[in-house]
Each structure stands twice: as structure tokens, then as C-alpha cells.
Amino acid sequence: MASILNTGATNALGLALAEELAEAGHQLLLHGRHPQRLVPVAQRFEAGRYIADLPAPAETQRPAAEAATRHDRLDVLVNNAGVASPGTAPSEACRQTDTSSGWR
């Protein structure tokens, strides 16, 4: 099965995706911004965990770099992290895009 790094895995779409991927037997590497939310999710799926605040420029590369050093391989990156919600002001929508596009 694939080794998958799923960003934004602590709620909503990211959490639902983690559930589906774990059920399919994939090795999960989960990212979240808040340790108190990420740790129980990672434990539930026996997954690696990576804590980073992706809107912060210095943080955007760290989870992928850590995954590369701690695991033999990384097959898939699910770029799901986000910070905005419906009805968000345009300036905040840009922050959402910057968060998701910071992974290179």
C-alpha cells in the first residue's frame, strides 16, 4: 500500500480522507496545526504525525522534509490544509491559497 502524507487531517475533509485511506490499508502520515487535535487522530490510525502552521512561511516545507527523513518513501501528498471558511474576506481567501500552495 501507499505511504500518504495528508495535510489538514484533523477535521472535515482531511479527517474523512484519513478514515478512508486507513480503511484501505495505506500507511498514513498526518499533518495538523494543533497537537491536541492531531495526536488523538494519529493514534487512532497508527499514523506518523507532523505538526506545522502552514500559513507561516518558515513552516511550509517542514512536514514534507521530516517525512522524507523519517520514512523510506512518500508516495502521495494530499494537499488538504486550509485556513479559511465560507464567507471569508478576499484577503483571507488569499491566505487559504497560500497555505495550500506552499507545498512544493
Domain that holds residue 37: 3-101
What total number of domains does the chain contain?
1
Is 80 exceeded by the pLDDT of residue 82?
Answer: no
Is 70 exceeded by the pLDDT of residue 83?
Answer: no
CATH of the domain at 46: 3.40.50.720
Assigned C-alpha cell, 103: 507545498
Would you call 82 helix, strand, or coil by DSSP?
coil
pLDDT tens-digit series, residues 14-59: 999 999 999 999 999 999 989 999 999 999 999 999 888 877 777 7
Q: To the nearest 10°, the Cα dihedral for 9, 10, 12, 13?
A: 10
CB 87 within 8 A of CB 16: no
C-alpha pair distances (Å), 95 with each of 25, 31, 33, 54, 84: 33, 18, 15, 10, 8
Q: What is the pTM of this model?
A: 0.74
